[in-house]
Structure 1
Amino acid sequence: MKALIVEDQDRLGRFLQQGLTECSYTVTLARTCAAATDAIVESSYDVVILDLGLPDGDGLDLLRTWRKGGFQEPVLILSARDGVQDRVKGLDIGADDYLAKPFSLEELLARVRSLVRRHSAVKQVVLEHGGICLDLLSHTVTLNGKAVDLTSREYALLEVFMQNQGRILPRTLISEKIWSAHYDVDTNLLDVYMSRLRAKLEVPGKPLFKTVRGVGYQLL
């Protein structure tokens, strides 16, 4: 399980990092809005612990931007702002839970476990987008009701996009999920697979994928 901690206080950040690491989480610590955004672009996380008072912006604005960009992973706000209206605002913007400082590490870990369980339980079995239906149980794909024959790599690539609809996915992130061995993203292997997906799934005049030069791809 991977966790992202967004906390600018060095001592608290390291305390949280140690607590989660001892519970077998792989932890990334970001101290600014910019670093946190870079982190979720470069990798995927099972849970995010987000402070609100960050040196280069407000955590609520950051969360709002993430949600608008298609980021759906569970977020626990950890903040000294403990008023009822603060909690309501945070939850309305898109947080899955809200814990005020000071806090008990034991309670925080329990809330994190709860968020991860709930998120895993509600993951969709069938993903749908633009006439495409991807069945995670049968590993089949249909386009407007007609079966589409995909190789295992093509299916895995499509699943990454269907799980991150609307997000711009960097080449490194896509490759990390598709190729378990070391993969040189400077090669054209990913581009070859993207061309295959386009040929099998795109309707003339209606592009399905957008190439973001110098970054990666986006499912439109």
Structure 2
Amino acid sequence: MKILIVEDQQRLGQFLKQGLVERAYTVEWVRCCREADDAIAENSFDVVVLDLNLPDGDGLDLLREWRESGFNEPVLILSARDAVEDRIKGLDLGADDYLPKPFSLEEVLAHIRALLRRQSAVKRAVLEHRGIKLDLLSHTVHLNGEPVDLTSREYALLEIFMQNAGRVLTRSLISEKIWSSHCDVDTNLLDVYMSRLRGKLETTPERLLFKTVRGVGYQLL
């Protein structure tokens, strides 16, 4: 698990980093908004631990920008601003948890574990592959952050491929899962739906997502 700490205080930053590393987390520690933005752009993190009083800006503004840009990973705010209004504002702007200073290391670790458990449950409900995000709960599909309008049958077809990325799926297997009654695999009905799905997801000639395995079926690359 990789954690980003955004904290400008030297002693506190070292304390948090050391405590997390000793618990086998991978940790990156930055001290300002600019460094935090760079870290988010260059790496993926499972949790962000965010201070609010940063030397080059307000952590709340940073959080707002992240959420508006589509960054959805859990954020735990650690802040000396402990008024109820501050906590409400932080949560409303997109924080997943808010822990006022001072705090104990064990308390921080407990909050991080809770966020990771929650995030793990969410991720199991979301399938992702090559820029495609399929949400099993909301039945929505996004491609590179943009919504894709699929029919219920196209969605079911994509779900099968997303759950079996890289595997060659036979025509009979796909047909049996998509159509409740047995579908003659010699008909072109499956090919029609595959063509529609390709048209919506393979947005450029270079973006080949599905491979036709002649005489067998299809594969999500």
TM-score range, shorter chain: 0.5 to 0.7
Task: Tell me which residue corresponds to 2:206.
Answer: 196
**Which protein shows a greater Rg?**
2
Match of 1:35 in 2: 35
Identical-pair percentage: 62
Aligned residue type for 1:131: D
CA-CA distance at 1:196 after TM superposition: 2.3
Match of 1:131 among 141, 146, 149: 149
Counterparts of 2:205 and 2:9, CA distance in 1: 45
- Answer yes or no: is 1:77 the counterpart of 2:87: no
In the other structure, the counterpart of 2:145 is none
Q: Match of 1:27, as an amino acid?
A: V
What are the within-5 Å matches in structure 2 for residues 1-220 of structure 1? 1-123=1-123, 124-126=125-127, 127=134, 128-129=141-142, 130-131=148-149, 134-135=158-159, 136-139=162-165, 146-147=193-194, 196-197=206-207
How many equivalent pairs are there? 154
Asked if 2 retains the 8 angstrom alpha-carbon contact of 1:125 and 1:137, the reply is no
Deviation at 1:195, TM superposition (A): 5.4
Cross-structure match for 1:208: none
**C-alpha separation between the residues in 2 aligned to 1:42 and 1:109?**
25
How far apart in 1 are the matches of 2:50 and 2:74? 10
What is the alpha-carbon distance in structure 1 between the residues aligned to residue 102 and residue 5 of structure 2? 16
For 1:140-183, what per-residue CA distance to the aligned partner results, in whole angstroms no more than 9, with x for missing partners?
8xxxx9337xxxxxxxxx9xxxxxxxxxxxxxxxxxxxxxxxxx
Deviation at 1:122, TM superposition (A): 1.3
Whole-angstrom distance in 2 between the partners of 1:78 and 1:195: 47
CA–CA separation in structure 1 for the residues paired with 2:126 and 2:80 = 38
Shift of 1:57: 0.1
TM-score under structure 2 length normalisation:
0.64
Unaligned segments of structure 1, at least 5 residues: 149-157, 159-193, 202-220
Summarize the Cα distance change of 1:200–1:131 in structure 2 as closer, same or farther, 3 Å threshold.
Answer: farther
Q: Aligned equivalents of 1:89 and 1:15: distance in 2?
A: 27
| CA shift for structure 1 position 137 | 2.2
State the secondary structure of the residue aligned to 1:5.
strand
Q: Please say if residues 53 and 59 of structure 1, whose CA atoms lie closer than 8 Å, have aligned partners that are also in contact.
A: yes
Shift of 1:35: 0.1
State the structure with bigger RCO (CA 8 A, min sep 6), 1 or 2. Answer: 1
Superposed CA RMSD in Å reads: 2.5
Structure 2 gaps, min length 5: 128-133, 135-140, 143-147, 167-191, 196-200, 211-221
